[in-house]
Structure 1
Amino acid sequence: MSKPEQKDDTFTLKEHYSFGELLTIMAFLRSDEGCPWDRAQTHESIAGNMLEEAYEAVVAIGMNDPVALQEELGDVLMQVIFHSDMAEAFTIEDVISGICRKLISRHTHLFGDDHADTPEKVLRTWEKNKQIEKGFLSVSDSMRDVPRGMPALTRAFKIQKKAANVGFDWTSVDGAMRKIEEELAELFVEVEKGDKKRTEEEAGDLLFTIVNILRLLDLDPETALTGCTERFIGRFSTMEEEA
């Protein structure tokens, strides 16, 4: 595409831009007359950028910083536009149409015959409609649909919630707490044996149980571990300063 004439201020620094102007800028950057780097990228080459920008948006949310969040959401949106522009099988309009259809088809308590008057019932309705749309025949199918590339603690948390939704759950947090003692004892045995593979498995069982406890207490495992890591950095920094 050719760069617009001077009377078009799309490529001029200004206070506000429209969604259409964003699409125009990205299309120009990837055109023959645009940027060599942008033009050379593929879905695979910038896949990590999507994850990085999403993480930075999460950090901004945790900081309760609306200015930073606005910027990071823009970076996430740029990744969506970038991938949509380079795609041959679909356009950004297809992406928008797809999410609109999903929002309508999953909210059948508003746009269909289902009834859900609490957040918990809405989530169950959403999950039911998702299973129908994707052709899941079992809860296991739904569990396998949780991306393996997701952070392990978050993936375990989501899979445990799916099991709990069909009644496979601890009756109280006390049972899960006692399970920690069992898993920890098994971990000690494998460590003493020096069996690295079995040690890894038992350590995984222990972590999975800890995630279960946090879920039962309505706490997020990623937030818990992130907070611990930040406290460790703070204590280590203090130790260095005092050394």
Structure 2
Amino acid sequence: MAELTDIQSLLQIMARLRDPQGGCPWDLQQDFASIAPYTVEEAYEVADAIDRNDLVELKDELGDLLLQVVFHAQMASEQGAFDFGDVVASISSKMQRRHPHIFGDAAVSGAGEVSANWEAIKRAERAAKGDQDNSVLAGIARGLPEWQRATKLQSRAARSGFDWPSAAPVLDKLREEVDEVQAEFDAAAAGADNRQRLQEELGDVLFVCANLARHAKVDVGSALRLANHKFERRFRAMEAQAQSSGGMQALSLEQQEALWQAVKQAEKGRGQ
């Protein structure tokens, strides 16, 4: 087997795991659909390591993500569709094609023009494949996390001038949408069966929140990950402090709220 730092070693390991004669039973049972959730999970774990600035963990998580590419390529190779070399050739060709200012004679004035050229090249590629969808929203994958797709839809629409001029009117819109959610909760409390309307109005709130993050130049996923980390950190601290009182379940909601505020103030005192 090649040196472990050589990509060939990983390809050989994956081929052996998928060998019908003596391979790993679990690996042999997998297909594209069953592996796809792991691929998405590994990408998020890469992002988490980056958020925590943990470069040791990032090395391991990038390896896990690379394994997902190798796994999919191995399964495709078994079907005679393509192999890992084809994957490398495809992305190498794409990167050269979409960077004509580096690998060709095009000239650009900055990162904004690079992005504009990238999108123009993508549209040309779709047209070459027979895709006749000329909308500025064309090509936004439906498999993206919905918060990410919302941001992409809004960013594409903004290229046509369909955008708020600043964050202020977005905040006004958010207040309007929250009021509409409140109205649906009031209706539900009065006995109305309005779950569909409530779902729609909550969706509008989330969509506007994504738009607000875009105007603030804040990544929605990163912001939500930070909020999740903060909640988890504070709740675990609450659990630790509540042990002497019989645990969280032994506390009333008012006592739990007081404990939450105490943990929150302690964090502020530490500069967190």
Shorter-chain TM-score category? 0.7 to 0.9
Distance (Å, rounded) in 2 between the aligned partners of 1:78 and 1:211: 32
1:180 corresponds, among 174, 179, 188, to 174
Identity of paired residues, percent? Answer: 41
1:103 corresponds, among 90, 95, 99, to 95
Extract unaligned runs of 5+ from structure 2: 128-132, 189-193, 243-272
Q: Which residue is equivalent to 1:126?
A: 118
Distance (Å, rounded) in 1 between the aligned partners of 2:175 and 2:101: 43
Extract unaligned runs of 5+ from structure 1: 1-8
Distance (Å, rounded) in 2 between the aligned partners of 1:206 and 1:37: 42
Q: Which residue is equivalent to 1:92?
A: 84
- The answer to whether 1:22 aligns with 2:6 is no
2:24 corresponds, among 6, 16, 35, to 35
Q: Which residue is equivalent to 2:247?
A: none
Q: Which residue is equivalent to 1:67?
A: 56
Distance (Å, rounded) in 1 between the aligned partners of 2:73 and 2:39: 13
Residue 213 (structure 1) shift: 1.1
Question: Aligned letter for 1:224?
Answer: A
Residue 24 (structure 1) shift: 1.7
Residue 98 (structure 1) shift: 0.8
Distance (Å, rounded) in 2 between the aligned partners of 1:105 and 1:153: 29
Q: Which residue is equivalent to 1:230?
A: 229
Distance (Å, rounded) in 2 between the aligned partners of 1:237 and 1:206: 29
TM-score, normalised relative to structure 2? 0.78
Report the CA distance shift for 1:235/1:133 in structure 2 as closer, same or farther (over 3 A): same
Residue 112 (structure 1) shift: 4.0
Residue 153 (structure 1) shift: 1.4
- The answer to whether 1:50 aligns with 2:39 is yes
Distance (Å, rounded) in 2 between the aligned partners of 1:239 and 1:24: 49
Within-5 A mapping of 1:68-217: 68-87=57-76, 88=79, 89-112=81-104, 114-135=106-127, 136-140=133-137, 142=138, 145-194=139-188, 195-217=194-216
Distance (Å, rounded) in 2 between the aligned partners of 1:24 and 1:33: 14
Q: CA RMSD in A?
A: 1.8
Residue 202 (structure 1) shift: 1.1
TM-score, normalised relative to structure 1? 0.87
Question: Aligned letter for 1:123?
Answer: S
Residue 167 (structure 1) shift: 1.9
**What secondary structure is seen at the aligned counterpart in 2 of 1:44?**
helix
Residue 146 (structure 1) shift: 2.4
Question: Aligned letter for 2:124?
Answer: I
Bigger mean CA offset, 74-83 vs 16-25? 16-25
